[in-house]
Structure 1
Amino acid sequence: MNIKCVSVSLLFGSLIFFSGTVFSNTVDQQRQDFLLAEKMTNQDNEGDFVTLSSTLADYPLYPYLQYQWLKNNLSKTDNILAFLSTYKESRYADLLRSTWLNYLADNERWLEFIHYYQANDSTALECQFYWATYKVGDQQLALNAAKRLWAVGDTQPKECDPLLSALALSPALTPDLIWQRFELALKKDNKSLASYVQHLLNKPDQDLAEIWLQIHNKPTLIQDSLFLGGNERQGHIFAHGIDRMAKSDLDLAITIWDSRKHNLVIDSQTARQLELRLALALARARDNRAYDRLNQLVTVDAEAREWKVRAALLEQNWQHVGLALTGLSFEEQQAPQWQYWQARSLIETGNVLQGQSVYNQLSQDRSFYGFMAADAINKPYFLADKPVVMAGNALEKLAQTTDFKVVHELIALDRDLEAKRQWWFALKKLSKEQVMIAAKLAEQWQWDQVAIITLVKADYWDDLALRFPLRYLSQVQSNADKQDLDPAIIFGLIRQESMVDKDAKSAVGARGLMQIMPATGQQIARNLNEPWQAENSLFVPDVNIKYGTFYYKQLLNRFDGHFALAMAAYNAGPNRVVKWLPVEGSVPADIWIETIPYKETRKYVTSVLSYAIIYQQRIQRNALKITKMLFDVRPH
């Protein structure tokens, strides 16, 4: 039956009989009917499905239901085309199109595939499109595209195999292209792909590629002069070996590179990139050679410019800090982070009034660096709380649009993942002002994480109640009291770890509000003399907050009450933090934080500290001063 006919059938009566049952148009009944019809999408029962689904034509999830049925009935071309036309604005149109295009490719219906293909971010579909182009006769266009799809270090989807195989059998695949992908694969540590590409080379080049693979696996082999000669390809092998060795033995890698780089044919771009990576590795290792090495670079990027400042900070050489700051771009210099260090370096070099002036301006920024500046000149923290302003019925109007009615129904049916996918799809159609309203709608629906991310997409940062929700206040306060901690710090951790999403789960398996790994949860349960109640207990806010607060207090005790060290350990693990401690002498806490090797952990610590300051205002406390939490970091 044509889908348009199914939709129209509802116009002829509001009640339809199915298997002797009368279906009403109440929302509760529609939800039950939807779930029943959904079960039929995987059954060979078209007549009953069509009859039942026709009663749901005005139900928000009707397109979703039809999509589920059609993706199991891909031979029904007319129905699919009708759906793509009728529901072209829905999220399910693109999903159905992709599924149907795969079906057309599997059945070698190339002309139809080309006609209905629409470019998206799917590499698999792009490969199938160009294979279809190849099959219908435009081989040159297809092979040109294949060369672009070839030149990556990742394994492409299996749908690309026919196109790339055609390229491999054509004169268009030159030895340079083969070597290019071989090298890209090794840079991604994709040894299986590199081995496959190796066999496309001629015999002498295969032997050279084998040497390259051996050095990739055992970089110390570059010390053997038998492995290397005097052409550019061998220079690339040497540079690759140095790059690999630097990950395990940086000192040896630098020693070999400096002693032999002039005796090999190495193109300037490769040499400069390797010099950059070695200098950055020294900086991240907190090596005292880092500043000089970074200062000698011919080619620098934003990362190198920033790490030059950090290397100077590690030296606590304020003249070097000032010079390094002048090397930042104008845009980089305006960032609160570097404004803070500008003020610090000015004061440390005797320019007190100028430094205080920078601090004064920076203190108007609601951030870790703004709060540090405020403390430096004894000013109150600047919070600038400006809630989103809406017209009286703006929230209701948005909630009643088609896309958001779909979201609401998916939430009602406990389809959280599908609801969030629909939400992000719907946001793409909205103006900036409407996205701000959507953030308030998510807040009303108690979708804290979604509300926070949505407000970020609107580029609006001043609605503090929305960005820093107080859900689970009683649990946070009670557990903070038990562990003798300020509740604002626990809120800061929760906000950074999960954006207050009790169901959050990381790629590595951390769970819940404070993102606790199951093994850590088990250990905490033992420490608390409690029975372990399985991994999913970590999604229970009471359990998660209790365990997370206890764990943070353990870390705080381990690191002598230093809040920043404990926060860094919560993110990166205590063993890494121990390695980052100074070997001798104390380091000011702000310098230690700025020179944390991991960007993620550096951002984590500054975020939690600033969130704690904001949360203390939200819970109407005034006990925390950020600089009082940051005493000098001593050797372990």
Structure 2
Amino acid sequence: MRRHLLPVLVSCALALLAGPGVRPAGAVSPHTDLAAQRAGFARALEAAESRPLAEFSAAARDYAQHPLAPYLDYTALRRQLDRASARTVKTFLDAHPDLPVSATLRDQALRALAQREDWAGFRSLYAGSADAELRCADLLSRRDATPDTAWLDAGLALWLSGRSQPARCDAVFEVVRQRGLLTEARTLERIALAATEHNLGLMRHLARGLPAAQAKRANAQADYLAGPTAALASGWPDDAASRRIALLGVTRVAKADPDAAEALFAALQGRFSFDAAQRGEALNQIALWSAASYLPDSARRFAAVPAEAWDARLHEWRFREALARGDDRAALAAIAMMPSAQRAEPRWRYFEARLRERAGDTAARAILDALSAEPSYYGFLAAERIGAPYALCPREASLEAPALRRSLEARPGFVRAMELFALGRIGWARREWDALKSSLSPDERRVAVALADAAGWHDRGPFTLNAGDDLAYYRLRFPLPFERQIRREARAHGLDPSWVVALIRAESAWAPDARSHANARGLMQLLPSTARMEATRRGQRYPGDAELFDPKENLSLGIAHLATMLERHGGLPFLATAAYNAGPSPVARWLAQRPVADVDLWIETIPYRETREYVARILAFATVYDWRLEGRAVPIAQRALGQRPAAAERHPFACPTTLPGSSS
């Protein structure tokens, strides 16, 4: 009996959308007290998620004019997509074309309709997609006994991919195959695409459809890419396909073992007639990964790269390699050889001045003078070297702007975003915000962030104010939530509070629910294993993995872990920061290879791009947070070494008369 009632119950719930006298979602009376309705609405939303639909329908009637009413219907409908009709879904989509979750619902409904092969319903909802599975389902929904040329071309385009396509596409590809379009030439073309994607399984799968000789060759290519050696390529013909695969193997080996890649390429050159571009690509990769590993043959390998094969990344690694071995002249030459646009970047202007200064070149001063007017890591370092104040020209977004507030409160998307945040529905809230922000004027955008920050939604500044004039709104971009606990925990562990909050800002941008692909969680992005180990080390009860999203628990264990990193690295924050990001083992390896002489120069030689930029970012962020907390800042050169001078000895801030583009 229940099986027959479900569509009816869904329709009853959705009838709220079109009932007489119901206003469009978001058309809320200005007198509506959303806070007073919040607890009741939360219960209605929970009912939509898990309670019988009859119970939900009764609860939903009380909130027909609530700005979030569509989310009740969306939630209830989402539960029933395996049975809901396309017409029911279309009713919702037509009523809420601009609701951010509508696109998600459409895709989910299309998958459900395809699963039960309701092709007429599928066609009524399909509006195009970049998703391969849905594109294949669309073709299946339009399949007939004699597919036309456009249908076959679309199927062939999906098949010609280096990636394995969804199982839903198999039936489409079978039709394309039966029509004789999956020719040997096209199969070889797809094998080449799969090789580029390093999809060896697909290469071998496709080889099954080739004649024996071609299949043998494709499998040999896959074997070579799995572990490239010259012997595996020794029997190949010297043709374009072989040269391409051989080169893919060289570039792949270069990342892990540049010495082996150089030997492999030398052997392959005796077999294959690579053209100049291919030779340049191989030599570029061998030199690049040699430098990134700081191998002794790096300089020789740089010299072997033809001029036309140089790119920005190779230029910057030529600089780092020379810097790491203490050859200032070669490092300056590396900067001089950069393209003008690259050389003009703050990083390279700073290091050019730094090395010129060390050589006694008075031209360094003019470079540092100009750079010191920029509010960035390199601008702050330049200011320290010449004794100039840090450049900071902060702007404020006032909440005392009635017209702007009224404008925002009249926008349904803003109302929905703020109320969803208040309900703890952060994912939906962010989607509403992202859909809204591009339509806001600059002033509206800043006031919106200020209102969100005042409501406790602290990550909106970092994620929203990140370009142009918005960069000058430092209080919004660098919020200070949980300040009391952070100061208390930092004091207990002897840590610099500005360093701690800078690290949090870099790790999560103050999003308590942040979760990385590696499963690092919360404000300080703790791995559960790290948090558990830190709790044991401190004799604390481990609260459980889920509790790492709780700011209180995360801050307690995260600050303790940062203190552990500092202790393990001799009380030097720049090393502890690097270890917090990359782990202690890589930092120990880097120190063994390149002992620290000058902190700013050593940071630039960190091999991992993420860690190198992370350390610089946190040192710059800590400077801005010092401005917020103290008004003056610990110089970066001293903070990196764990020195904390008295307030009177700290570095001042000032707004230059002419300030270049902000980039901090």
Give the equivalent residue in structure 2 for 1:192: 201
One of 162, 170, 173 as aligned partner of 2:171: 162
Letter of the 2:295 partner, please give it.
D
Alpha-carbon offset, residue 208 of structure 1: 1.6
Letter of the 1:420 partner, please give it.
R
Give the equivalent residue in structure 1 for 2:458: 448
Alpha-carbon offset, residue 363 of structure 1: 0.8
- Deviation string 1:591-629 (CA, Å, 9 cap, x unpaired) is 221222211111100001111111111111646111234
- Whole-Å Cα distance in 2 between the matches of residues 326 and 126 of structure 1? 50
1:439, 1:451 within 8 Å by CA — same for their partners in 2? yes
- Whole-Å Cα distance in 1 between the matches of residues 464 and 205 of structure 2? 44
- Deviation string 1:39-96 (CA, Å, 9 cap, x unpaired) is 36778857x7666544432111222222334442665454444433332222243233
Letter of the 1:359 partner, please give it.
L
- Whole-Å Cα distance in 2 between the matches of residues 137 and 322 of structure 1? 68
Q: Are residues 407 and 228 of structure 1, via their aligned partners in 2, closer, same or farther at CA, if it must alter by over 3 Å?
A: same
1:411, 1:419 within 8 Å by CA — same for their partners in 2? yes
Give the equivalent residue in structure 2 for 1:483: 493
1:442, 1:448 within 8 Å by CA — same for their partners in 2? yes
User: Higher relative contact order by CA 8 Å / sep ≥ 6: 1 or 2?
Assistant: 2
Give the equivalent residue in structure 2 for 1:339: 349
Give the equivalent residue in structure 2 for 1:249: 257
- Whole-Å Cα distance in 1 between the matches of residues 35 and 552 of structure 2? 34
2:44, 2:72 within 8 Å by CA — same for their partners in 1? no
Letter of the 2:71 partner, please give it.
Y
Correspondences of 1:282-361 after superposition (within 5 Å): 282-295=290-303, 296-297=305-306, 298-352=308-362, 354-361=363-370
Q: Are residues 5 and 622 of structure 1, via their aligned partners in 2, closer, same or farther at CA, if it must alter by over 3 Å?
A: closer
Give the equivalent residue in structure 2 for 1:264: 272
The answer as to 2:620 corresponding to 1:575 is no
- Deviation string 1:245-293 (CA, Å, 9 cap, x unpaired) is 3344321221231343243144554443332222211121012433443
The answer as to 2:230 corresponding to 1:238 is no
Q: Are residues 571 and 25 of structure 1, via their aligned partners in 2, closer, same or farther at CA, if it must alter by over 3 Å?
A: closer
1:254, 1:278 within 8 Å by CA — same for their partners in 2? yes
- Whole-Å Cα distance in 2 between the matches of residues 117 and 419 of structure 1? 26
Alpha-carbon offset, residue 559 of structure 1: 2.7
Letter of the 1:516 partner, please give it.
L
Correspondences of 1:428-577 after superposition (within 5 Å): 428-456=438-466, 460-577=470-587
Give the equivalent residue in structure 1 for 2:73: 66
Q: Are residues 470 and 49 of structure 1, via their aligned partners in 2, closer, same or farther at CA, if it must alter by over 3 Å?
A: closer
1:182, 1:193 within 8 Å by CA — same for their partners in 2? yes
Q: Are residues 240 and 627 of structure 1, via their aligned partners in 2, closer, same or farther at CA, if it must alter by over 3 Å?
A: same
1:2, 1:79 within 8 Å by CA — same for their partners in 2? no
Alpha-carbon offset, residue 225 of structure 1: 6.6
- Whole-Å Cα distance in 2 between the matches of residues 34 and 619 of structure 1? 37
One of 138, 145, 168 as aligned partner of 1:129: 138
Letter of the 1:91 partner, please give it.
P
- Whole-Å Cα distance in 2 between the matches of residues 31 and 57 of structure 1? 16
Correspondences of 1:605-620 after superposition (within 5 Å): 605-620=615-630
Alpha-carbon offset, residue 580 of structure 1: 1.9
Q: Are residues 262 and 454 of structure 1, via their aligned partners in 2, closer, same or farther at CA, if it must alter by over 3 Å?
A: same
- Deviation string 1:533-589 (CA, Å, 9 cap, x unpaired) is 322343343443333333223323333333222211110111111222253665532
Question: What TM-score, normalized to structure 2?
Answer: 0.83
Q: Are residues 415 and 542 of structure 1, via their aligned partners in 2, closer, same or farther at CA, if it must alter by over 3 Å?
A: closer
Q: Are residues 269 and 137 of structure 1, via their aligned partners in 2, closer, same or farther at CA, if it must alter by over 3 Å?
A: farther
- Whole-Å Cα distance in 2 between the matches of residues 129 and 42 of structure 1? 32
- Whole-Å Cα distance in 2 between the matches of residues 37 and 497 of structure 1? 32
Give the equivalent residue in structure 2 for 1:93: 102
- Whole-Å Cα distance in 2 between the matches of residues 232 and 614 of structure 1? 55
437-446 or 425-434, which deviates more: 425-434
- Whole-Å Cα distance in 2 between the matches of residues 626 and 393 of structure 1? 42
The answer as to 2:404 corresponding to 1:401 is no
1:435, 1:458 within 8 Å by CA — same for their partners in 2? no
Unaligned runs of 5+ in 1: 14-23
Give the equivalent residue in structure 2 for 1:142: 151
Alpha-carbon offset, residue 498 of structure 1: 1.5
Letter of the 1:355 partner, please give it.
A
1:399, 1:441 within 8 Å by CA — same for their partners in 2? no
Give the equivalent residue in structure 2 for 1:18: none
Q: 3-state SS of the aligned residue for 1:374?
A: helix
1:488, 1:612 within 8 Å by CA — same for their partners in 2? yes
Q: Are residues 583 and 76 of structure 1, via their aligned partners in 2, closer, same or farther at CA, if it must alter by over 3 Å?
A: closer
234-243 or 57-66, which deviates more: 234-243
- Whole-Å Cα distance in 1 between the matches of residues 574 and 557 of structure 2? 19
Q: Are residues 564 and 6 of structure 1, via their aligned partners in 2, closer, same or farther at CA, if it must alter by over 3 Å?
A: closer
Q: Are residues 169 and 149 of structure 1, via their aligned partners in 2, closer, same or farther at CA, if it must alter by over 3 Å?
A: same
Q: Are residues 480 and 68 of structure 1, via their aligned partners in 2, closer, same or farther at CA, if it must alter by over 3 Å?
A: closer
Letter of the 1:310 partner, please give it.
R
Q: 3-state SS of the aligned residue for 1:156?
A: coil
Q: Are residues 595 and 30 of structure 1, via their aligned partners in 2, closer, same or farther at CA, if it must alter by over 3 Å?
A: closer
Give the equivalent residue in structure 2 for 1:206: 215
2:139, 2:151 within 8 Å by CA — same for their partners in 1? yes
1:30, 1:59 within 8 Å by CA — same for their partners in 2? no
2:17, 2:92 within 8 Å by CA — same for their partners in 1? no
2:515, 2:521 within 8 Å by CA — same for their partners in 1? yes
610-619 or 444-453, which deviates more: 444-453
Alpha-carbon offset, residue 168 of structure 1: 4.1
Give the equivalent residue in structure 1 for 2:655: none
The answer as to 2:430 corresponding to 1:423 is no
173-182 or 522-531, which deviates more: 173-182
1:502, 1:541 within 8 Å by CA — same for their partners in 2? yes
Unaligned runs of 5+ in 2: 1-10, 24-31, 643-664
1:282, 1:289 within 8 Å by CA — same for their partners in 2? yes
- Whole-Å Cα distance in 2 between the matches of residues 461 and 187 of structure 1? 40
Q: Are residues 110 and 516 of structure 1, via their aligned partners in 2, closer, same or farther at CA, if it must alter by over 3 Å?
A: closer
1:433, 1:458 within 8 Å by CA — same for their partners in 2? no
- Whole-Å Cα distance in 1 between the matches of residues 90 and 463 of structure 2? 35
- Whole-Å Cα distance in 2 between the matches of residues 494 and 399 of structure 1? 31
One of 128, 139, 150 as aligned partner of 1:119: 128
- Whole-Å Cα distance in 1 between the matches of residues 158 and 469 of structure 2? 35
Q: 3-state SS of the aligned residue for 1:263?
A: coil
Alpha-carbon offset, residue 27 of structure 1: 6.7
Letter of the 1:394 partner, please give it.
L
Give the equivalent residue in structure 2 for 1:628: 638
- Whole-Å Cα distance in 2 between the matches of residues 4 and 549 of structure 1? 49
26-35 or 122-131, which deviates more: 26-35
1:222, 1:228 within 8 Å by CA — same for their partners in 2? no
Q: Are residues 399 and 164 of structure 1, via their aligned partners in 2, closer, same or farther at CA, if it must alter by over 3 Å?
A: farther
Question: What TM-score, normalized to structure 1?
Answer: 0.86
Q: Are residues 548 and 54 of structure 1, via their aligned partners in 2, closer, same or farther at CA, if it must alter by over 3 Å?
A: closer
1:502, 1:540 within 8 Å by CA — same for their partners in 2? yes
- Deviation string 1:452-477 (CA, Å, 9 cap, x unpaired) is 20222676111111111222222222
- Whole-Å Cα distance in 2 between the matches of residues 64 and 285 of structure 1? 52
2:290, 2:298 within 8 Å by CA — same for their partners in 1? yes
- Whole-Å Cα distance in 2 between the matches of residues 85 and 291 of structure 1? 64
What percentage of residue pairs aligned between the two structures are identical? Answer: 27
